[in-house]
Amino acid sequence: MSFLWFLSEMRVPVLTYFLMGISYIGTPFAVVGIIALFYWNINKKLAYGMSFSFFVSCLLCQGIKIIARVPRPWLLDPTFSAVDIAIPSAGGYSFPSIHTAGSTALYISMFLFYKKKGVRSFCLGLLSLIIFSRMYLGCHTPLDVTVAFIITLITTLVITFFWNRYGDQKKDDVIVAFFLGALAVALLVLDGSLFGNGTVDFSNAKDGFETAGLALGFVFGFPLERRSVNFVNEAPGAKKALRFIIGLAVALIIELGFKLLNDTNVFLIIFRYALNGFWITYLWPKIFTRYENVQKKPAV
């Protein structure tokens, strides 16, 4: 906590608002949006590697969160104050940091894939700022971000190593999906059990249900797309823009629509995130591929 106190004395409005923006880039929603951009328009194989690293690390960190149940810094020390505008987005327990886990999975995957020094410097610089922002805003301790970073770094290095060598072998899709699905189900069972017996309240259990649901949607969509759609990233710039804008808009409609309908029913929360994962990985690629193929056909 001493380091957070030190950072709190450095706070000035301009830096605070800047780091709030940086912190938002590290939210799971923003990270998934960037992965979707890569998946639909830039490089599918890289996007899959990003996704595996993101889900494995976040599922592990969410599991640790509800087992360790470490309160946020302002609860650990009631005399400490986080930045007010950052508190609403800091739900759940503090240790380890999901912002750090998701961002590390994304930017370390990019760092390992791209060889240009400029791109690599950008990835490391932005990741460092995101991690720093979580401490500056008072949402996480150094231990929170360090443990999340180490877990995700190891996870990403291992997944990248194997995915670069075996990622084109579709026969292994079921194995990958089964492993990721097993992790998601394990988190659902753990989270559901602790929530059911009252050990963890709804506000702290919710993030785990959301992460597991999104992972399950990916688990079903990933092998289906590879076998029945197998779309290509190459397309005119206008079509790529439409892919991203429409795809993300529908994902947002699914999120907000179900949230307005009911944001306290566990099964609806899991279904909502699973549907979004399935939409991103399979349903939307199937739709835009069919439409683009029709557009390519010459008029009779």
My answer on whether omega of the bond before 96 falls inside 30° of 0, hence cis, is: yes
* pLDDT tens digit sequence for 191-227: 999 999 999 999 899 999 999 999 999 999 999 998 8
Count CA within 13 A, CB hemisphere, residue 211.
Answer: 36
Query: What percent of the chain is predicted at pLDDT more than 90?
Result: 72
> What are the backbone dihedrals phi and psi of residue 244, each rounded to the nearest 5 degrees, phi first?
-70, -45
Residue 270 has pLDDT above 70, yes or no: yes
* pLDDT tens digit sequence for 161-170: 988 887 677 7
Residue 174 has pLDDT above 90, yes or no: no
Residues 148, 101 contacting (CB under 8 angstroms):
yes
Residue 293 has pLDDT above 80, yes or no: no
What letter would DSSP give residue 70? P
Residue 297 has pLDDT above 70, yes or no: no
Question: Radius of gyration (Cα) for the chain, nearest Å?
Answer: 20
* pLDDT tens digit sequence for 28-41: 899 999 999 999 99
| CA-wise closest residue to 57 among 29, 98, 90 | 98
Q: Cα(39)–Cα(267) distance, rounded to whole angstroms?
A: 28
User: What is the overall mean pLDDT for the chain?
Assistant: 91
* pLDDT tens digit sequence for 123-164: 999 999 999 999 999 999 999 999 999 999 999 999 999 888
pTM for this entry: 0.91
